[in-house]
Structure 1
């Protein structure tokens, strides 16, 4: 009788420790996910939010700064930033044989917009679309 109680105690202890270890792994995974979310929020607050506030100010004409060039806010969104950079590199590679002269920037932006739209389904606005009052070469 006494031996069976000892064995039962050992089995219960092993089961409890096993459950505790699994619970600890779950907590570690949850903590890692929470940390990553905090990093994304911090990145958003430091990169996107100030740009968003500035964009709202400019669009509402609260700030009238000569030479202020607006850009698509997707460029600052952590979800899109790397994709947009990769599309820019791909557009540059696709246009490698064209001379970098007046008007090239329009060709580059059109190619980048095409890549983003066709390959990734992203509707990116070019600098001329964001700044119709500005003449780009």
Structure 2
């Protein structure tokens, strides 16, 4: 048996400047508008203290009220317009990088999977949220 930590990496490119992408990604009022894996889910609350040692929380719930959970943790490192590393409350590590490529900003997320759900389901869920962010960010004016 191996104790090697597996990771999953997902990515998207957004047709927007890094400053806009960073702001929309980290502002709690915006997080509640894009942070959902499916149309029958929503994020009812978001808090974000974007600094090393700062805490974050997003409350995700099924719209029918049948299920909900807190997605929360603590930032290990924050490099403005470049990177966010954090540890989820269950101890899993996540790294998010932001890279400018011409007129686009590429977001790459690498995360340690949990042990309850299949890897592919987790990849698809996190990618769906990232895709929602892309759609939301590209629809914003200014």
| Fold in common (TM above 0.5) | no
The structure richer in helix per residue is 1
The structure richer in strand per residue is 2
Which has the higher relative contact order, 1 or 2, with Cα contacts under 8 A spaced 6 or more apart?
Answer: 2
After TM superposition, the score normalised by the length of structure 1 is 0.24
Give the structure with higher Rg (CA): 1
